Structure 1
Amino acid sequence: MKTIGEIKTEFLNTGYTGWQELCDVYRSDERAGVTKLVQQYEKKIKNLENEKLRMHKMMEYEHKYEHLGYLCGIDEVGRGPLAGPVVACAVILPHDHHILYLNDSKKLTAHKREELYDVILREAVAVGIGMAGPARIDEINILQATYEAMRQAVSKLKVMPQLLLNDAVTIPQITIPQVPIIKGDAKSASIAAASIVAKVTRDRLMAEYDKTMPEYGFASNKGYGSAEHIAALKKYGPSPIHRASFITHFV
């Protein structure tokens, strides 16, 4: 008879497609440790099936329009902060991708976003990033700067899409047909992927700024107006990456 440790190793070394078979094999084993192990993996199987169903719903728009050709999800991050750029991302996923856990980036942990960032960049047909810095935001306003960053993201795609799936907005000055989807980052896998890449890109950038301007706490607040950030702003004045048009109430 195999030890509980050996059975645990067997589960660990088996891909999820083999978990159910192992559960069936060891379900009759009455040892408490084995019973617990089987229960754990049956729960994992159920969670995985639920996630596959959720992702199937997240592909609703992609399936609806896939006959048109390449579909591109677009989202941005950083419209609200007092400092740093607004970052937009455009992502074209393969029609037959099997990426799980894509969601509105705000609903994911930082660790999960980093993990998915690598998966998206590895599996995507194309990814484009666009940015508008604080000076540009002050010059043309945050909405126009966001549109500019989105257009830039689309222009950097190595493959031109036939349709854009956007999170809530219709981007001016773009000839590609667009479908704005309210709360799209929670309804479309492509938009969710774009939100994750945009978020990780911007967070990493703010962490770099923190190294040269640690007094503002950019690594933790990402430029948003936390109490500590506002206190630092009042104490030290604005940094080169603060948006002048956003901080008039504080300095």
Structure 2
Amino acid sequence: MPPRRRAVVTSRKPSLRTERLLQREGYPVLAGMDEVGRGALAGPVTVGVVVIDEGCRSAPTGVKDSKLLTPSARERMVPRIERWCIAWGVGHASPHEIDSVGIMGGLRLAGRRALAQLGTVPDLVILDGNHDWLTSPDEVGLLAFAEGNEGASTPPVRTMIKADMRCSSVAAASVLAKVARDRLVVDRAADHPDYGWLDNKGYAAPEHLEALRRLGPTEYHRRSWNIPGCRDELGDGSADVVEDGIGQGA
């Protein structure tokens, strides 16, 4: 008997399979949404949104979760994504806003700002992860913090774990968000070269943490988080979500 061949497990590329199923359920205009910067120590949290309809064909070749692409590949992908979808947007919440309303409130602000740029209202938002931070019960109070967004309504949301690995629309949104956020952080890097933002993009890399211990936080750091230099400055060093403040994220 010939030897049995070992099955080869390959990573599944994002596709429109999930989006097509949802469209058949009655949601013809879909928005894929993803965030980056949630675990950073400095810089904004950023949310990207990409809208497709039933006329959109397969996503541009190479679209995948932004963490799996090189910086140059992400940059090249942006104009192709913008031409492919029917609408797109990128929203940010600043470090000061995150300190004021917490990381979940910051995500909500950034997501609402991204939606406000679309010029169309999706029938459904596909949100990466298992928590719907876009339509939290206390969103009304948090929305007041976003100038010009009072009273905005949120489309229905469908959360999905690993949506950025499965859904082309969400993967595309992650690319737009990552590129936009990286540009903002890099623009600030020249003013604060000791923190290594050109390379770490505001995350908790060793050189970033060492600079915080030596120099303390800048105005671009999330000062409510439990990071070096902020504990003494704020008294108790409390963080909205400490585990999100120390980590290498997207």
CA offsets, 1:16-53, max 9 Å, x none? xxxxxxxxxxxxxxxxxxxxxxxxxxxxxxxxxx99x8
> Hey, what does 1:40 align to over in structure 2?
none
Matched, 1:227 2:206: yes
Match of 1:153 among 97, 101, 114: 114
CA offsets, 1:59-87, max 9 Å, x none? 11111122422110000100011100000
* Aligned-partner residue type, residue 163 of structure 1: L
Alignment of 1:9-158 (within 5 A): 54-55=13-14, 58-67=15-24, 68-93=27-52, 95-158=56-119
Take 2:104 and 2:215, find their aligned partners in 1: how far apart are those partners?
28
* Aligned-partner residue type, residue 173 of structure 2: A
Per mean C-alpha deviation after superposition, the further-off stretch among 141-150 and 81-90 is 141-150
Identity of aligned residues (%): 36
Q: Secondary structure at the match of 2:224?
A: helix
Query: How many Å apart are 1:193 and its aligned residue?
Result: 0.4
> Hey, what does 1:6 align to over in structure 2?
none
Query: How many Å apart are 1:122 and its aligned residue?
Result: 2.5
Quick one: structure 1 residues 81 and 139, their matched pair in 2 at CA, closer, same or farther if it must change by over 3 Å?
same
Does the CA contact (< 8 Å) of 1:125 and 1:159 recur in 2?
Answer: no
> Hey, what does 2:176 align to over in structure 1?
197
More helix by share: 1
Aligned residues: 199
TM-score (structure 2 length as normaliser): 0.74
TM-score (structure 1 length as normaliser): 0.74
> Hey, what does 1:212 align to over in structure 2?
191
CA offsets, 1:107-152, max 9 Å, x none? 1111211111121122221111111101110111111211221122
Does the CA contact (< 8 Å) of 2:32 and 2:127 recur in 1?
Answer: yes
Take 1:98 and 1:77, find their aligned partners in 2: how far apart are those partners?
21
Gaps of 5+ in 2: 1-9, 140-152, 231-250
Take 2:189 and 2:98, find their aligned partners in 1: how far apart are those partners?
20
* Aligned-partner residue type, residue 48 of structure 2: C
